[in-house]
Amino acid sequence: MALRLFNTLTHSVQEFVPLSQDGNKVRMYCCGPTVYDFAHIGNWRTFIFGDLVRRYLEFKGWAVQHVMNITDVDDKILKRVHETKMPLREFTGKFEAAFMEDLKTLNCRAPHQTPRASEHIPEIIALIEKLVLRGLAYKAPDGSVYFSIEKYRDSGCEYGQLVKLNFDEMRIGERVRSDEYAKEAIGDFALWKAKTPADGAVFWPSPWGDGRPGWHIECSAMSMSFLGPSFDLHLGGEDLIFPHHEDEIAQSEGAGGQAKGQHFVKYWLHGAHLLVEGRKMSKSLGNFFTLRDLLAKGFAGREIRYLLLTAHYRETFNFTLEGLQAARTSLQRLDECLTKLRELAGNATAGAAPPLLQQFSEALDDDLNISGAWGAVFEWVRDTNRKLSENALDAPAAAAALTAWKKLDSVTGVGAPEDLEVPSEITALLEARQAARKAKEFKRADTLRDELKAQGWVIEDTPKGARVKKINI
């Protein structure tokens, strides 16, 4: 079945057809982290959504080029650099490294390119020069360069492709210098910001004097440098629709590199926000969690990933610690089913494939209906457990089920084979304990059981004999 996605540009669900002539390559840009702090779980919801899109496209057979920028120059960063008096790179380096580490903890596939804004200043300046040359940007008395919305509209282009804007309220030529502003404050936005004393050592020379780029132009320059003037997918959280993405469109289409009739981006995808206990996350409310905060509470990356992947990306998601606990329980149910299937499958050759994969991908084809996809998975777990208890599955059927699961998990990324496989020293301890029991050396058997427990494993007696299970923290 064809993949259908909700495109913010057309405000409708559309069949996904990549721009590429050979039909196999997909170019995708995700707005990356602003590295001024550790990423919070709201940010992670959006990045995991990006990872889901990439993984599902790859599952469908497309060759994805995934670019995610690192915003290492913007207003928020400059403010912190000024406060901490640290050199820019030293300040951002710590958060960038943490971000990359967290990306791995959450089992997100590494983007193919992660360009830093600070390393693409020549490309950014070249793009601004093009806009100045085309009469769409101008240097203001404050020394900064602004994008003229009026000139852009006069040239026949549309400002307000993603959102509806009220131009009657706009005062022509009014300017906004800050990177973030509301719809009510539409005005000419800064492409190049002239150096101020608060910028300290963070500035670069340019044809308009020393300064630094605005946030929006960074993404236009970096995305087009890596993916060309038109590409398939651009992703971010819903807060980026305006002004960030609207301004990206204006800058990129204003530069005019697109072929006739083509947009800068064919499909714009936006993830809804995450709330905590029904409220916007904030440090003052005490409901602010970074990934690291949750790991410190004993939760695993896969449990957090699974929870953030349970809701549809266009629905606001309410995060709670009880929800995370429930996510752990669901994964345990899944793990137990997979363990039993592994025991039964042994080295058997896979038999006929179960319908699971088809149900899973039919759900995801429908604008990434992940709740439908998980519904299919847990229905399969229930069905499999029933068949296992009735001895109605043979080894080839179990092997086929595992093959299907593996393929499916290339999309969800929540599988934990290392947790499910028992290390050989643990198996040896279990065998020694069984031997001791058989020899009626109960004291020794108990000591061995305690030793296993100390290493994080409990013994479970099953009709097929004893086996070990990892204790959850």
Contact footprint for Zn ion (CB under 5 A): 31, 219
CA distance 369 to 358: 14
Among 132, 165, 190, 274, binds ligand AMP (CB under 6 A): 274
The first and second tokens of residue 204, run together, are 């670069």
The first and second tokens of residue 179, run together, are 């990177």
Contacts of the segment 121-126: beta carbons below 8 A, 24+ positions apart: 121/204, 121/213, 123/221, 123/222, 123/225, 124/213, 124/217, 124/218, 124/221, 125/192, 125/204, 125/206, 125/207, 126/221
Measured in residues, the chain has a length of 473
| Contact predicate 202/88, CB 8 Å | yes
Tokens 């509209």 sit on residue: 153
Q: Which does 273 bind (CB under 5 to 8 A by kind): ligand AMP, Zn ion, none?
A: ligand AMP
The residue among 28 and 219 lying less far from Zn ion, judged by its C-beta, is 219
Q: Which does 230 bind (CB under 5 to 8 A by kind): Zn ion, ligand AMP, none?
A: none
Taking contact as CB under 6 A, which single stretch among the options 27-35, 100-108, 116-124, 135-143 is the one that binds ligand AMP? 27-35
Q: Is 42 in the site for ligand AMP (CB under 6 A)?
A: yes
Among 33, 115, 211, 213, binds ligand AMP (CB under 6 A): 33
- Closest approach of Zn ion to the CB of residue 284, in Å: 27
Cβ contacts of 161 within 8 Å, gap of 6 or more: 9, 246, 249
Q: Is 45 in the site for ligand AMP (CB under 6 A)?
A: yes
Q: Is 115 in the site for ligand AMP (CB under 6 A)?
A: no
| Contact predicate 194/202, CB 8 Å | no
Contacts of the segment 277-283: beta carbons below 8 A, 24+ positions apart: 277/318, 277/319, 277/320, 278/318, 281/40, 281/41, 281/42
Among 8, 46, 206, 220, binds ligand AMP (CB under 6 A): 46
The residue among 74 and 303 lying less far from Zn ion, judged by its C-beta, is 74
Q: Is 117 in the site for ligand AMP (CB under 6 A)?
A: no
CA distance 303 to 309: 10
- Closest approach of ligand AMP to the CB of residue 167, in Å: 25
CA-angle at 373, arms to 368 and 378, nearest 5°: 160
Taking contact as CB under 6 A, which single stretch among the options 39-47, 197-205, 379-387, 462-470 is the one that binds ligand AMP? 39-47
The residue among 117 and 376 lying less far from ligand AMP, judged by its C-beta, is 117
Q: Is 92 in the site for ligand AMP (CB under 6 A)?
A: no
The residue among 124 and 429 lying less far from ligand AMP, judged by its C-beta, is 124
Q: Is 211 in the site for ligand AMP (CB under 6 A)?
A: no
ω into residue 243 within 30 of 0, thus cis? yes
Among 111, 115, 214, 236, binds ligand AMP (CB under 6 A): 236
Q: Which does 412 bind (CB under 5 to 8 A by kind): ligand AMP, Zn ion, none?
A: none
Q: Give the count of beta carbons closer than 10 Å to the beta carbon of residue 421.
A: 12
The residue among 31 and 274 lying less far from Zn ion, judged by its C-beta, is 31
Taking contact as CB under 6 A, which single stretch among the options 19-27, 115-123, 155-163, 236-244 is the one that binds ligand AMP? 236-244
Q: Is 180 in the site for ligand AMP (CB under 6 A)?
A: no
Q: Which does 50 bind (CB under 5 to 8 A by kind): Zn ion, ligand AMP, none?
A: none
| Contact predicate 123/225, CB 8 Å | yes
How many angstroms separate the most distant Cα atoms in the chain?
92
Strand partners, 175: 188
Q: Which does 356 bind (CB under 5 to 8 A by kind): ligand AMP, Zn ion, none?
A: none
Among 9, 26, 31, 468, binds ligand AMP (CB under 6 A): 31
At residue 437, the 3 state secondary structure works out as helix
Q: Is 240 in the site for ligand AMP (CB under 6 A)?
A: yes
Interface ranges with ligand AMP (CB under 6 A): 31, 33-34, 42-43, 45-46, 71, 236-237, 239-240, 273-274, 281
